Amino acid sequence: MLAEAWRYLVAHPAPFATALAVHVALSAAALAIAAFVAIPAAIAANRRPALAIALANSANVGRTLPSLAVLALVMPVLGTGFVPSLLALTLLALPPIVQNTLAGLRSVEADIVDAARGMGMTAREILRRVELPIALPAIFAGLRTAAVQVVSGAVLAAFIGGGGLGDFITAGIAMMALPQLLVGAIPVTLLALGVDFGFGALQRRLTPAGLRA
Amino acid sequence: MAWLVRNADQVAIAFVQHVGISLSALAIAFALALPIGVWAARNARVQAVALGVAGFLYTIPTLAFLALLIPVVGLGPANAIIAMVAFSLIVLIRNIATGIRQVPPDVVDAARGMGMSATQVLLRVELPLAVPLIIAGLRVAAVTVISVSVVAAYVNAGGLGTLIFNGIATDHPPKIWSGAIAACALAIAVDASLSALERRVRRRRMA
Amino acid sequence: MIALDGVRKRFAGATTAAVDGVSLDVAAGEICVLIGPSGCGKTTTMRMINRMIDPDEGRILVDGRDIARVDPVELRRGIGYVIQQVGLFPHLTIAENVATVPRLLGWSAARVTQRVDELLALVDMDPALYRARFPRELSGGQKQRVGVARALAADPPLLLMDEPFGALDPLTRAALQDEFLRLLRELSKTIVFVTHDMDEALKLGTRIAVLREGRVVQYDTPAQLLAHPADAFVESFVGEDRALKRLALMTASRYAVPMALDAGAHRLQAGASLRDALALLLQDGARPLAVIDTRDVVVGGLDLQTIRAALAAAPSM
């Protein structure tokens, strides 16, 4: 069975490479955009309690929404293809990054911020030298969660014409062709595991030495 | 939304299917996770292995998992339920184990000192005190399961996803909207009610 | 060096003012202790000096400058700030923690390193051992030493300290208080020190301001405070045992008088306090004590009568 899948892959290198490239591109782009939006938003919200609560609540709700439902909601509005898929995946990636960044910033004890302020640090210096370094492990935990979610969601992008490895899976299921199915399912699983592991390692590396338990 | 009114029965059937399959999966997942979680609370190595395996399963993309199950169990609800159970294990095991571990040692000590057997301590002291965290875990698991259910329609498991897939295939936006919004509404409602339950249960334990 | 003039502060939503017309002056080199019950406004007052809080009314002058006109950030970089929970940065080493303000001021790396080592040695923490450690590896007392070192790093003339030793156990607290006094003898700083512990205030303060409900009830030297409490509140705040507290501030050598002493009389060091003398006297059926200097020469004697007379005389500190 695996041998058949391998033979199928070897016979169709180009479609596979394209699907893989699209999948990675979708995932990476969605994660990057989400990070560029969510992290600054969480940082800004951290200073204003009312905004922080609103943002946290939105993220909580966003986190519960079924991934396929979000993709499906985007389709009637924006059509099918790469861009609508990218938008939907970005939306899926926002909540975990927001939640974890907020949690990370909130974990900085009030005394530490008070001492920093009392010593004469500006707000920006406090953020850069104290709050962000301490919150960094949590931020990366959020990025890791979002990354896996996005890789998984990108599989579903096949349903709205986004391309990616999901195409092989859906084609395989539709035609009851196991080799094709495996050519989609196994690489994407490996991709997800790899991303999870990679971000985990990155998170550990970036944790300041003083904070490692 | 006229479509929705005219076809409310279709949506209702899909909804009921969806809830049914989600509940079954959740029940099975909890039944599995409970003994594992209790064991993991007592044994650090078991915890590491259990969380490692469950974490691995959780990382597998949903559709890939469902697809990989086809050669094994074919299409249909069974396929979906296995996937849903697999994805829920990590959060349930982790929360059960942590919930039990967080019970203050002096409380357990007092209970044992009063003459309770290990089982009684577990059932009357540890698990009751772990309930808030367990409900928190069930909440995340429920939302996960609902989300997987939507995709599982593709492998003939029924549920609200059928409306979505059908709608996409026939290019019928109202159907797509109905399925997607109903799924979102279900997820939000379940999350909100379990959240409220968690808060109530937590408050009672603080008193 | 510091002058507070009619300072008032009421927080939003509060019915009464936290600080209600406080006027104080602190001379350079003094330790001004702010003391009072919970909610009396001592911490709020202190935090207005480095503009962590801004007053509603009144002026605060530091070194002749009205601080309302000074940029808060610039002001704070010139004032040392020590709080009860210390607030060490957990993600930085001890050396990096101490180096914080010098780095903010742009000192050269070499100068910073030298200064860090100097300060760690000053607070009795071997730089070689502690430079690269992290806050989580230190005990409470060690953390606060680092906190003090960090506050002194840029050599500010003024230090603000908010119950810095409050979170420590009594033994560590006493040790740190002694060390702090010793340290101050080597440096010359002006200190504003908040505490709720009367013994600490009497031990450390040059002058003590007793606050109540946002106002200064009395501002005096420890001896004056003990001898002449301004009202019943101060009296009860100072404590029932203020006679003993006063005796603790008076040295034996000052009050010893020539008198006939037995050969077997107990000997008391000249630097000991009259309270120690009293304790010794009570132990031994009130037989007169011999007060001796560092060379073991008897400089005089003390008995119950002399001690009572010393208390009755006007305090001279």
Return d(Cα A65, Cα A89) in angstroms, integer. Answer: 12
ipTM of this complex prediction, to 2 decimal places: 0.87
CATH number of the domain bearing residue A156: 1.10.3720.10
- Does residue B108 belong to the interface with chain A, where contact is any CB pair within 8 Å? no
Which helix (H) or strand (E) covers residue C152, if one does?
helix C140-152
Top residue of A68, A160, A193 to mutate, by most chain B CBs within 10 Å, is: A68
Q: What is the pLDDT of residue B116?
A: 82
Query: Would residue A17 count as lying in a domain?
Result: yes
Q: Which pLDDT tens digit goes with each residue over B98-108? A: 999 998 888 88
Instruction: State the burial class of residue C260 (Cβ atoms within 10 Å of its Cβ: 0-12, 13-18, 19+).
Output: exposed
Q: Which pLDDT tens digit goes with each residue over C89-133? A: 988 999 999 998 898 888 999 999 999 999 999 898 999 999 999
Domain hosting B82: range is 2-206
Q: Are the CB atoms for C146 and C121 separated by under 8 Å?
A: no
- What lies within 8 Å, CB to CB, of A99 at 6+ separation is A56, A59, A60, A63, A142
Q: How many separate domains does chain B show?
A: 1
Domain hosting A67: range is 2-100+141-208
Decide if pLDDT at B172 tops 90. no
Pairs of CB atoms within 8 A across A/C = 75
Q: Which pLDDT tens digit goes with each residue over B24-80? A: 999 999 999 999 999 999 999 999 999 999 999 999 999 999 999 998 998 889 999
Return d(Cα C95, Cα C244) in angstroms, integer. Answer: 43
Q: Report the residue of chain A nearest B72, measured CA to CA.
A: A178
CB contact under 8 A, A115 and C91: no
Decide if pLDDT at B177 tops 50. yes
Q: Which pLDDT tens digit goes with each residue over A53-76? A: 999 999 999 999 999 999 999 888
> Which token pair is B23?
């509940």
What residues form DSSP beta bridges with B194? none
Average pLDDT score over residue span A95-102:
95
Angle B27-B29-B32 from CA coordinates, rounded to 5°: 110
Q: What is the pLDDT of residue A88?
A: 94
Counting other chains too, the contacts that C181-186 makes at CB distance below 8 Å and 24 or more residues apart are: C183/C122, C183/C123, C183/C148, C184/C31, C186/C122
Q: Which pLDDT tens digit goes with each residue over B6-18? A: 778 888 888 998 9
- Does residue A57 belong to the interface with chain C, where contact is any CB pair within 8 Å? no
Query: Would residue A117 count as lying in a domain?
Result: no
Query: Would residue A114 count as lying in a domain?
Result: no
Return d(Cα C297, Cα C266) in angstroms, integer. Answer: 13
Return d(Cα C178, Cα C14) in angstroms, integer. Answer: 39
CATH number of the domain bearing residue B23: 1.10.3720.10
- What lies within 8 Å, CB to CB, of A204 at 6+ separation is none
Q: Which pLDDT tens digit goes with each residue over A110-126? A: 999 999 999 999 999 99
Return d(Cα B145, Cα A104) in angstroms, integer. Answer: 27
Residues of C with CB under 8 A from a CB of A: 50, 52, 73-79, 81, 83, 85-93, 100-101, 104, 134-136, 147, 150-151, 160
Decide if pLDDT at A163 tops 90. no
CB contact under 8 A, B59 and A196: yes
Q: What is the pLDDT of residue C317?
A: 45
Smallest CA–CA distance, residue A120 to chain C, in Å, is 4
Q: Report the residue of chain B nearest A67, measured CA to CA.
A: B147
Q: Which pLDDT tens digit goes with each residue over B69-127? A: 998 998 889 999 999 999 999 999 999 999 999 988 888 888 888 788 888 888 888 89
Return d(Cα C153, Cα C133) in angstroms, integer. Answer: 18
Q: What is the pLDDT of residue C239?
A: 81
* Lowest mean per-residue pLDDT among A74-78, A99-103, C69-73, C158-162: A74-78
Amino acid sitting at position C162: D
Query: Would residue A30 count as lying in a domain?
Result: yes
Q: Are the CB atoms for A211 and C91 separated by under 8 Å?
A: yes
Q: Provide the pLDDT confidence category of residue A77 given band limits of 50, 70 and 90.
A: confident
Decide if pLDDT at C315 tops 70. no
Cβ-based neighbour number of residue A156 at 10 Å: 29
Chain A residues within an 8 Å CB radius of C50: 118
Residue of B62, B70, B151 with shortest CB distance to A181: B70
Which helix (H) or strand (E) covers residue C4, if one does?
strand C2-9
Query: Would residue A124 count as lying in a domain?
Result: no
Query: Would residue A133 count as lying in a domain?
Result: no
Handedness of CA C283, C288, C293, C295 (dihedral sign): negative
Q: What is the pLDDT of residue A213?
A: 59
Q: Which residues of C210-227 are buried (b: 16+ CB within 10 A; e: fewer)?
A: bbbbbbbbbbbbbbbbbb
Helix %, strand %, coil % of chain B (to 5): 90, 0, 10
Q: Report the residue of chain A nearest C53, measured CA to CA.
A: A118
Decide if pLDDT at C172 tops 70. yes
Q: What is the pLDDT of residue B207?
A: 52
pTM above 0.95, yes or no: no
Query: Would residue A68 count as lying in a domain?
Result: yes
CB contact under 8 A, C52 and A125: no
Which chains are adjacent to chain B, needing at least 3 Cβ pairs under 8 Å? Answer: A
According to DSSP, residue C273 is labeled B
Q: Which pLDDT tens digit goes with each residue over C124-162? A: 899 999 999 999 999 999 999 999 999 999 899 999 999
How many percent of chain C have pLDDT more than 70?
99
> Which token pair is C272?
């000991």
Distances (CA, A) of A141 to A26, A138, A203, A206: 20, 5, 7, 11
Residue of B61, B143, B183 with shortest CB distance to A192: B61
Handedness of CA B137, B138, B143, B146 (dihedral sign): positive
Q: How many separate domains does chain A show?
A: 1
Q: Which residues of C73-96 are buried (b: 16+ CB within 10 A; e: fewer)?
A: bebbbbbbbbbbbbbbbbbbbbbb
Q: Which residue has the tokens 């190595």?
A: B45
- Does residue A212 belong to the interface with chain C, where contact is any CB pair within 8 Å? no
Chain B residues within an 8 Å CB radius of A155: 61-64
Q: Which pLDDT tens digit goes with each residue over B191-204? A: 999 999 999 888 87
Q: Provide the pLDDT confidence category of residue C294 given band limits of 50, 70 and 90.
A: confident
Decide if pLDDT at C50 tops 80. yes
SS3 C187: coil
- Does residue A174 belong to the interface with chain B, where contact is any CB pair within 8 Å? no
Average pLDDT score over residue span C241-267:
84
Return d(Cα C143, Cα C122) in angstroms, integer. Answer: 14
Chain C residues within an 8 Å CB radius of A128: none
Q: Are the CB atoms for A81 and C49 separated by under 8 Å?
A: no
Q: Report the residue of chain C nearest A123, measured CA to CA.
A: C73
- Does residue B1 belong to the interface with chain A, where contact is any CB pair within 8 Å? no
Q: What is the pLDDT of residue A174?
A: 87
Q: Which pLDDT tens digit goes with each residue over C270-281? A: 888 888 888 888
Q: Which residue has the tokens 């709080």?
A: C83
